[in-house]
Amino acid sequence: MLTPQSIQNKKIIVLVPTHNEGSVLRQSVEPLLQQMPLQVVIIDDGSHQPAVKQVQGLPVVVLRHKVNLGQGAALQTGITYARKANADYVITFDADGQHAASDLPALLQPLLRNEADIVLGSRFINGHSNSVPLFKKGILHAARFINYSFTGILLSDAHNGIRAFNKTALDKISLTENRMAHASEILFLIKKHRLRYKEVPVTVRYTRYARQKGQGGGSAIKILFDLLLHKLFK
Amino acid sequence: MNGIQLLLLAGVSFIVLYFITRLKNRLMDIVLLTALVLCAIVFILWPETTNKLAALLGVGRGADLIVYISILTFWFTILKLYRRIRLLEQLFTEIVRQQALQQPEQLSSGSINEPHKDTVVPKDHSV
């Protein structure tokens, strides 16, 4: 497992994009701070109530988009910040309480061993998929194959927001898709820059809150449309 | 001349006037517009020319031919607009991003009791 030595002198930044998460944001961020020495950067993507009010008293950095641009744009703002801050490893983590902070060591492991440049969390390996709602499962599997047809990369999961990058990946990943199509754009960039990638099993919790906030079938069509435009105008 | 011809000619004249007052120094746009308008006037005054053109291209009626061409033009225009919107969005995103990066808020464990600078502290009127 992660020994204190292996991450010693390494700067780890966790990016948490958020938009109107309310008190759930604090519940998502607090467990992160108990994990290991890391810097949490919250990117408030134009929430009505500034997210900074939700995380008072926590040692975090908050960047605020004055207007709502989308999760992809928020992540890229965080990535730019992490580059400037000279981070060694960057983790992306959802603010809606779906991800488990305890998955962080497993996510970092392949990077520390230099086996991959980018590690993607998957809810569908090692039986972590039991609680995924059936409809959601269907959409995600369709998305896997759509991503495969665009990139030639077939993953076991799609649109899972928990990922880890090393410096090499951090330099190459520049997201231009402001909304949810950024998840596929990451795969385009993996392919384009020949980044080494690896999937590790992670837990995704389907709380009632996350189900309400999560994306339904309609957003899948929007993502597909954004992807087509991305390919057309790149 | 029948009613529809008058209506269409009036519409075309209005568009020409509108554009000419706004495109004073853009030669290419004026040339393109003039060509389009001349075509329109010819087709309006002598509709049978569109029928001949349609027959030449294997389309039944001249009006159908015009609809097909309009649909193509419409598609093309929409694509161009999407491209323009995406470019504007990228520009806009970059501005918002730069602004966010210039003002990072570094919170600390000790800041729990300090009012945030954006927080409106109610004025004490009792004093």
- Fold classification of A12-233 is Spore Coat Polysaccharide Biosynthesis Protein SpsA; Chain A (3.90.550)
Paired tokens of A109:
């492991």
Separation in Å, CA of B101 to nearest CA in chain A? 6
Contact assessment for residue A133 and residue A23, using Cβ atoms and an 8 Å cutoff: no
- % of chain B at pLDDT higher than 90: 43
Band of the pLDDT at B114, cuts 50, 70, 90? very low
Looking at residue B110, the DSSP 8-state letter turns out to be G
Looking at residue A51, the DSSP 8-state letter turns out to be G
Q: Which residues in chain A touch residue B104, judged by CB atoms under 8 angstroms apart?
A: 61-63, 81
Locate the domains of chain A by residue range.
12-233
Q: What is the pLDDT of residue A128?
A: 55
Nearest residue to A163 (alpha-carbon basis) of A78, A229, A86, A61? A78
Separation in Å, CA of A46 to nearest CA in chain B? 10
In this predicted structure, the answer to whether residue B118 has a pLDDT above a threshold of 50 is: no
The contacts of residue A156 (CB under 8 Å, 6+ apart) are A122, A124, A125, A144, A199
Contact assessment for residue A58 and residue A95, using Cβ atoms and an 8 Å cutoff: no
Nearest residue, CB atoms, B107 vs list A56, A178, A232: A56
Nearest residue, CB atoms, A56 vs list B99, B106, B116: B116
Contact assessment for residue A95 and residue A17, using Cβ atoms and an 8 Å cutoff: yes
Asked if the C-beta of B95 comes within 8 angstroms of chain A's C-beta atoms, the answer is no
The position carrying tokens 């030449």 is B56
Q: Do B96 and A73 touch (CB under 8 A)?
A: yes
The contacts of residue A177 (CB under 8 Å, 6+ apart) are A72, A184, A185, A226, A230
Nearest residue, CB atoms, B97 vs list A53, A62, A77: A77
In this predicted structure, the answer to whether residue B116 has a pLDDT above a threshold of 60 is: no
Band of the pLDDT at B122, cuts 50, 70, 90? very low
Q: In this predicted model, what pLDDT tens digit does every residue of B64-76 receive, in sequence order?
A: 999 999 999 999 9
Asked if the C-beta of A109 comes within 8 angstroms of chain B's C-beta atoms, the answer is no
Paired tokens of B113:
């009791």
Q: In this predicted model, what pLDDT tens digit does every residue of A165-189 receive, in sequence order?
A: 999 999 999 999 999 999 999 999 9
Rounded average pLDDT over B16-24:
80
Q: What is the pLDDT of residue A72?
A: 96
Contact assessment for residue A119 and residue A89, using Cβ atoms and an 8 Å cutoff: no
Q: What is the pLDDT of residue A3?
A: 61
Looking at residue A54, the DSSP 8-state letter turns out to be T
Nearest residue to A211 (alpha-carbon basis) of A121, A99, A98, A93? A98
The position carrying tokens 């225009």 is B77
The contacts of residue A74 (CB under 8 Å, 6+ apart) are A17, A18, A19, A43, A45, A65
Separation in Å, CA of B89 to nearest CA in chain A? 9
Tell me which chain A residue has its CA closest to the CA of residue B109. Answer: A57
Asked if the C-beta of B100 comes within 8 angstroms of chain A's C-beta atoms, the answer is yes
Q: Which residues in chain B touch residue A56, judged by CB atoms under 8 angstroms apart?
A: 107, 111-112, 116
Total beta-carbon pairs less than 8 A apart between chain A and chain B? 71
Which segments in chain A show pLDDT lower than 50?
A: 1
Tell me which chain A residue has its CA closest to the CA of residue B78. Answer: A229
The contacts of residue B77 (CB under 8 Å, 6+ apart) are none
Buried b (16+ CB within 10 A) or exposed e, B89-110: beeebeebbeebeeeebebeee
Q: Do A69 and B93 touch (CB under 8 A)?
A: yes
Nearest residue to A75 (alpha-carbon basis) of A202, A200, A179, A194? A179
Paired tokens of A157:
């999961």
d(CA A10, CA A7): 5
Separation in Å, CA of B59 to nearest CA in chain A? 31
